[in-house]
Structure 1
Amino acid sequence: MTIHATLPKAELHLHIEGTLEPELILELAARNNITLPHPTLAELRAQYEFTDLQSFLDLYYANMAVLITEADFADMTRAYLRRAQAAGVRHAEIMFDPQAHLGRGIPLTTAVGGIESALAGSEAEFGITTGLIAAFLRDETEESALAVLDELLAAEAPIIGIGLDSAEVGNPPSKFIRLFRRAREAGLRLVAHAGEEGDASYVSDALDLLGAERIDHGIRAIEDAALVKRLAADQVPLTVCPLSNVRLRAVDTLAAHPLPQMLSSGLNVCVNSDDPAYFGGYVEQNFASLVAEFGFGTDILERLAGNSIRSSFAADARKAELLAELDGWRAAQGS
């Protein structure tokens, strides 16, 4: 096991639908008698070269067609948890896209029930505590999002928070002020994708207009010196996904990624995998790539992992437990 996989960490930016590996997609298609446009493993894998966010989203939503039953959602979630355990993940806050499933005619109870059935046994089976976040599609209307949130709340769905994902540009945070106000009133935690495609103003607006507690991505914040100063002073968590950023052309190469600059600016960044089945790497592979590219030592790895734990919505006792485990990891590296 590599040093990156033994590093105890939390994963805070993970879309469960983005963990659908091609093999499982074909298995579920066969189970549910679904004919895919790319019916062989080779043909399906050939679609995974993306030119931008939209080209990824097109395949991402098409592949969701294989998720029909609670068992499908449970199998997908359990496959991620098994892989996350091997990556050193000890706490995971997992996003799912309720609107994407409702739009396919899949009831919320099916999606949520299947995912939750796997999460409920996650700590006992995999040693991973979890939280579930409903991520709303920013290219849909706010009215649609509000209706789905109300349905989730009425059903007492086991969600800890809400987020925003999908196409960022043209769908600014200002579009979802009422949604986030409603979620805040319901006692939910608030996160939002911002500053991946969209410029630094999307990050500022997610904080100011939505009250986001955590920013998913946030890499373009580095373009605004005043915002960087604010983020550093307030230690706003930024859940960065390096391999995803490269695959979606948010940055040209890993060498051009702003993560080192973000660290040197004192920002509270952590490393995550986003949609690992599509972007060529689970969280420990993101760490390994960063070490290979930038020469990060154990001090930086510990800082990134510590940031992930402290920035999570886990209970204080669980955070303390994981930080103690991280202390043990650091001690072991010096032995």
Structure 2
Amino acid sequence: MTSISPTDEQALRELPKAELHLHIEGTLEPELAMKLAERNNVSLPFADLDDLKAHYEFENLQSFLDLYYQLMSVLRTRQDFTDLMLAYLARANADGVRRAEIFFDPQVHMSNGLDFDLVLDGLLEGLRIGHERFGIDGGLIMSIIRDMPVDSAEALLDTATSRADDLLGIGLDSAEVGYPPELFGHVYERAARLGLHLVAHAGEEGPADYVRRALDFLHVERIDHGVHAAADNDLVARIARDGIALTVCPLSSHRLQVVRDVADLPVRQLLDAGVKVTLNSDDPAYFGGYIGDNYIAMARTGMSLDELATIAEYSLEASFATPEQKAIYANALADWKRIHL
């Protein structure tokens, strides 16, 4: 690993960037989880905070998901979701995030007895306050849990249709292997007719072919993770040609043992092939770092400030922001480059 100076670390935190792959439930820090459990009288099977923290070591994606869904039970009120969003946005602000396009998992919350509107309104209120407080633009991407029945996804879309104008897009997450993208083709067709942007997790656990199927059957605009696409040269060429951005999450991929080390991620290979790679934090409370930490982790693999600035530029361009917003982000990035490059 390459050492980097404190000055460069700070520069990477200040680098204007977009976060395009962030699960708001994955920002639930152990301290906040315990606080909300007490506030809402939710019993958790952990002796204390240290015991809970000890469970944040994962063997694979499923062992992470088991704890992730368990802790989501502490989120009970609209205020809980607002507090969760504001806690994330404070950290994002410290890491130079100008825009955050944020996943949430309503099927799980609804299974926990919560109303869809309560969840959505709490998160939207957090985004509103966060924009006023930090100047961060953003939107919500409603994620489909792919290892729940497809009928559940259809029912969620029925519920969400009247609130489509409050949503930025639709996504597909959770356990990947055995749940190929085409299962959700009809859901995505309906979402497109509602005017929602289309993204999907593919090529994290699953093979490169899952990325191809997400493009062919779901017609997604971005691929979340997508690192296994690098094994298929024809697919990489297609992704580059079509301008499909990948929302890579280095610390997540390392902690979930997708790769043994972040240096093993094919980031530079994909960049050299013309792919718009972006860096993101996924579920940072669980994976040991927010977005700035992910940029710093890649710098320690030998990536230069110039290369990482290009990745930040791709993230801003690949966002679903308006042209006017993107122009503001581009100016901020140009100012950063004049100082640091």
If the length of structure 2 is used for normalisation, what is the TM-score? 0.96
Is 2:259 aligned against 1:251?
Answer: yes
Summarize the alignment of residues 1-335 of structure 1 with structure 2, pairs less than 5 Å apart.
2-156=10-164, 158-293=166-301, 295-334=302-341
Structure 2: where are the runs of 5+ without partners?
1-8
Residue deviations 1:85-129 (CA, integer Å, cap 9, x gap):
001101000000010101111111111111111112222111100
Displaced runs of 4 or more, over 4 A:
none
The alpha carbon displacement at 1:155 in A equals 4.0
Aligned residue type for 1:235: G
Q: Are the equivalent residues in 1 in contact too, given 2:164–2:194 (CA < 8 A)? A: no
| Whole-angstrom CA distance in 2 between matches of 1:327 and 1:2 | 17
Equivalence for 2:6: none
The residue identity in structure 2 corresponding to 1:95 is: F
Q: Give, in angstroms, the shift of residue 156 of structure 1.
A: 4.7
2:224 counterpart SS class: strand
AA matched with 2:304 = G
Relative to structure 1, is the Cα distance of residues 230 and 155 closer, same or farther in structure 2, using a 3 angstrom cutoff? closer
Contact kept? 1:26, 1:39, Cα under 8 Å: no
- Specify whether residues 219 and 119 from structure 1 end up closer, same or farther in structure 2 by C-alpha distance, changes over 3 A only: same
Residues of 2 paired with 1:209 and 1:285: CA distance? 34
Residues in 2 aligned to 1:24 and 1:14: alpha-carbon distance in whole angstroms: 18
- Which AA in structure 2 matches 1:243? L
CA RMSD of aligned residues (A): 1.0
Q: Percent identity?
A: 50
Distance 1:288 1:112 in 2: 32
Alignment length (residue pairs): 333
Task: Give yes or no for contact 1:298–1:330 (8 Å, CA) kept in 2.
Answer: no
Letter aligned with residue 333 of structure 1: H
Contact conserved, 2:225 with 2:248, CA < 8 A, in 1? yes
In 2, distance between residues paired with 1:327 and 1:167?
39
Q: Give the 3 Å change call, closer, same or farther, for CA 306–153 of structure 1 in structure 2.
A: same
